Chains A and B, each alone.
Chain A
Amino acid sequence: MALQEIALCLQDFWKEEGCPTISPCGPIPAGVLTPDVFFGVLAPRPWCASQMVSVVDPSLAPYGDDPLSPIIDRHLQVTRCDPSSDLRARFIESLRMLGLDLPSRDIRFVAHNYGWKQSYLAVRAAGWRVLIDQIEVGSLSYLQRLGEIDFEPVPMMVEYSLGRLAISVGIEDEDVPTERGRQIAAYALECADPERINSLLSLHADECEQALAGGFYFPAYEHVLASVYLHSLFALHDSSSDEGQSGRAAHIADLASGCARMYVEALDA
């Protein structure tokens, strides 16, 4: 089974579960919701979809694009909103569909309080990282709140890291970094100019505010995504205190929260 087959198999599985496949998205920075998901879960009607996403995470640059800490990865994000369903059981079933011999493997659901690196997006979530033989292959999360908006019913998210899942399935076992990943890592560490990156970050944040002031929440969210990527890149070189770093992340979260608020207000109007 090739990586593409894994993706198709999972998409088919979730389609059967009522989560249709939508157009792929990316690249986006790690730890954020795609625009489809971000606005989709805010819509008044329960929103279900599965989406392939190309994820870039420059914070992993120091590890040289190791396959278990890939700078570029393909994820499958599945969102559904059905409180009666047992998400965990469905997730396990999806693994079984891939042909994994589950009784022989060490499968763990490790709880963590923040679902994923969602602090950028003002999301409060609770969930689990899923590990197979200590390799993190995905996560399950329940979104509790986005900005100032409490979810009722609660949207559920499944995210697979297809690269690492493939390793667990046994189709890829190469410790060779991809050229693209290698270049991103080398650029992030050796070439990127932190001052310019920081200026770009400020420009995107300002432009996001400008877009929000004009009522353009979709374009504003694109600037949020760019800000997250630049923040992640800048953080590699920024040694200021945690307080300083979380202050910048909080500002991005405020912008994301603004996008969410404005979108919901537009729906209500």
Chain B
Amino acid sequence: MPDLLLEIGTEEMPVELLSPMAVDLSLRVNRALAENGSLKGGIRVLYTPRRLALIATDVSTQAFDDEERVNTISHILGEPVNELVSEGVMHRDSSPVMFIRPIRYVVCLYGEQVIPLRVGNVVADRQTCAHWRSAAGEEITLSCAADYEQVLATGGVIVDQERRKQMTRDAITAAASEANVSAQVDDNLLARIADGVEYPQPVIGRVNLPPDLPAVFVKAVIRKAGFVPLDADQGSVVGFVGFADGPVDRDVVRVGYERVARSALSGCRLLYTRDREASLADHVSSLRNIGDEVGVGSLWEKTERLRTLSVQVAQALDASVGTVDRAAFLCQADLATWIVHEFASLHGIAGAVYAKLDGEESSVCIALEEGAVSNLERGRIPASTEGLAIAIAERYDHLATLLLTGNEAYAPQVVSAGDDLIGLLIGGKVDLDLLSVLGALREQYRMLAPAIRIEDLEGALRTCLKERLIHYLETKQEVTSRIASALPQTLRSNPYRSSACALGLQEASSKEGFALLLGSFAKLRTRFRVGNKRVFDPALFEEETERTLWREYLKAEGKMEGLLAKLDYEQAIDQLTSLWGAIDRYAEDVDPGAGSEEVRNNRLGLIASIVGLYTRVGNFAALLETDGYAPGEEKK
């Protein structure tokens, strides 16, 4: 079956929108073809700044003749394509189409056959465009859909964005190898470069370094100028690779690139010099006049909260409180510097550099740097406990302020902040209850948003943590949704302990004895009306079965206590399982209604205490329900 090619040729579109628009186009066309049962193969999305294209392989149409085939495909594609382009923002003539940039032509081929699809005022044909600076001239006639990529390549256009990215990566590797240095290729920068051209042509440049400018600043400047810095200690010179679009005279272009890089470095040097007129600590006072990222308070207030938070986290981590407090005091200060004003990606890193130059203690500088790197690279866990404390405090406060400003638990920013925080706590093995930390910050958060009750923030935080924790356990630790949803309520705000519990519970649930454990729990719930009063007097037990259960309970409780302190939930559950025989005999021999009220209440006190052990390692009622047992029904 033939392939279907659709290409929308435009003037240069915003690079950051290319990938999402291409995916959007593909989804719309895929849905339309699938609804008509026409798509037998897959869809490939291709794009450059001047075109969006897709190739659908093995497209079938039930048609008697060419005319009917043309009409069918036009009909299928017409709506989704016109819907997409009508969501744009720009027009330049009387065309009803307001695509993101003006449409110059449309190609639509089914095998060799032109599908005259109408997109706005433009009717599709088989004429595509070569690179606009191609010597071969701009217009190219396509004979069939299958030739598309190859024909365009001869016209100086690599239409496959992944191939352009690979060409870019290869060129950087080759340049680094030739210079006998290495190059750190940042994927985002690579994508930005490859998406911005139709044919990447490497141009290698070199510039003199301004004196004293820290290497990390040099790289940020070169990257911001759109070039890839080469790693090397070449004294006073730094190399970089830039990418021209299409054929150029590299010697001429190099002069311009070097001029741009030199100018950017010299500007950075001025900012750096201005920043160094004061110490990093001096910049802290300026934070009073700078708004925080969610617009509810100043960065000074944020700094105060971070100090409170990070010290609490430090205590849980057994980290140096003095170091953490100093790092928390300084960690926002670089937001008042010129360098971060211009290069936002240097926030945190610049602080660490300036702290070092100011002669701050090395542990403080390390904490600042690790906290910053953890912010920039999601999933990166700081190596030092002090750095970890700073990173956790920053994420926690970010999440709390997002919730304080009315963002819902499912808002993308909240989801991202929640995931980051949970990842840090579990990855960093931090045994910390996040809600208990909130207590020390009540007043600070209340001042930030007086209209919001702190109880509402607690509720929002609890909901968010529960949802993000379940997501983390299921996606990162392969915990089943049955187990992830059956964690003890009391652990929900302690992600690391929850994770240990979930993994222990999952392991234990695969053992034979787990069914017995669930069964004995079901019996207790069915036979006795278990209350919350966990008080009993052994002297009031009337039967030997009661005394046996009591002794077994004491043994299990003592061992579980030690195991839970070590977060060994699997062994703790094994200890609980050892009670099942005594529970079964008790449930069969003891009449819950026998004896005086005092004896009956005493009996319920023992049962409540035993159920209390269950609740420390899992929500067994939820587990029974997911197994299909209604409340009160015994597990057979």
Contacts and interface: CB of A to CB of B under 8 A. Distances in A.
A126 interface: yes
A106 B260 CA distance: 13
A240 B289 contact: yes
Given A64-B270, A83-B92, A104-B249, 16 more contacts: A66-B266, A83-B93, A105-B248, A105-B253, A111-B12, A111-B13, A112-B14, A126-B101, A133-B252, A134-B225, A134-B226, A135-B259, A135-B260, A154-B93, A175-B262, A239-B336
Nearest to A63: B267
A154 B89 CA distance: 13
A77 interface: no
A66 B11 CA distance: 32
Interface in A214-269: 238-244
Interface of A: 62-64, 66-69, 83-84, 88, 101-113, 124, 126, 128, 132-135, 142, 144, 152-154, 156, 167-168, 173, 175, 189, 238-244
A239 B298 CA distance: 10
Nearest to B341: A62
29 contacts: A62-B271, A62-B338, A64-B267, A64-B270, A67-B263, A68-B259, A104-B248, A105-B248, A105-B252, A105-B256, A109-B11, A111-B14, A111-B15, A113-B14, A113-B89, A126-B89, A126-B100, A133-B244, A133-B252, A134-B256, A134-B260, A142-B90, A142-B92, A144-B91, A153-B93, A153-B94, A239-B290, A240-B290, A242-B291
Q: Which of B89, B92, B255 has the most CB of A within 10 A?
A: B92
Interface in B522-539: none
B256 A154 contact: no
A214 to B, nearest CB: 36
Contacts of A135: 256, 259-260
B101 to A, nearest CB: 6
B96 to A, nearest CB: 12
B111 interface: no
A257 B23 CA distance: 37
B247 interface: yes
B555 interface: no
A108 B259 contact: no
A154 B90 CA distance: 10
Contact of B94 (A83, A132, A244): A83
Contacts of A62: 267, 270-271, 274, 338, 341-342
Interface of B: 11-15, 49, 89-94, 100-101, 133, 135, 196, 201, 203, 225-226, 242, 244-245, 247-249, 252-253, 255-257, 259-260, 262-263, 266-267, 270-271, 274, 286, 289-292, 295, 336, 338, 341-342
Q: Which 3 residue pairs across A and B have the least CB separation, nearest first? A: A133-B256, A241-B291, A104-B249
Contacts of B255: 133
A150 to B, nearest CB: 10
Contacts of B133: 102-103, 107
Contacts of A102: 133
Q: Which of B196, B256, B292 has the most CB of A within 10 A?
A: B256
B49 A111 contact: yes
A109 B12 CA distance: 6
B405 to A, nearest CB: 11
A63 B274 CA distance: 10
A176 to B, nearest CB: 12
Nearest to B133: A103
A110 B196 contact: yes
A189 to B, nearest CB: 8
Given A83-B94, A133-B257, A244-B291, A69 B267 contact: yes
A110 B16 CA distance: 11
B11 A134 contact: no
A106 B253 contact: yes
B195 to A, nearest CB: 11
Nearest to A133: B256
A99 B226 CA distance: 27
A144 B196 contact: no
Contacts of B270: 62-64
A100 to B, nearest CB: 10
Contacts of B247: 103
Contact of B12 (A110, A134, A167): A110
Contact of B253 (A64, A133, A144, A189): A133
Contacts of A84: 93
A63 B339 CA distance: 11
B291 A243 contact: yes
Nearest to A127: B90
A66 B268 CA distance: 11
A109 B93 CA distance: 20
Contacts of A241: 290-292, 295
Contacts of A113: 14, 89
A92 B556 CA distance: 84
A106 B92 contact: no
